[in-house]
Amino acid sequence: MKNRVRDFRTAKGMTQEDLAEIIGVSRQTINAIEKEKFDPSLPTAFKMSRLFEKSIEEIFEYK
């Protein structure tokens, strides 16, 4: 799944570790999501959506 997680994370001045801690996943999970090697669970996607103040569709795009 194509995504803009890295764009929104860096716009907020956050590291992968920062984002992982806030939403309750590992840094490796964030890295895998950003590299499009792993699709997040729905609860994780909703947490990112709220944090970035963006819709899920703005963050994630189904290929």
For the chain, give every domain's residue range: 2-53
pLDDT confidence of residue 53: 98
pLDDT band for 62, please (50, 70, 90 cuts): confident
pLDDT higher than threshold 90 for residue 11: yes
- Please answer whether residues 2 and 60 qualify as being in contact, where contact means their C-beta atoms are separated by less than 8 angstroms: yes
Tell me the mean pLDDT in the region 8-25: 98
CATH 1.10.260.40 fits 2-53, yes or no: yes
Burial class (CB in 10 A: 0-12, 13-18, 19+), 30: buried
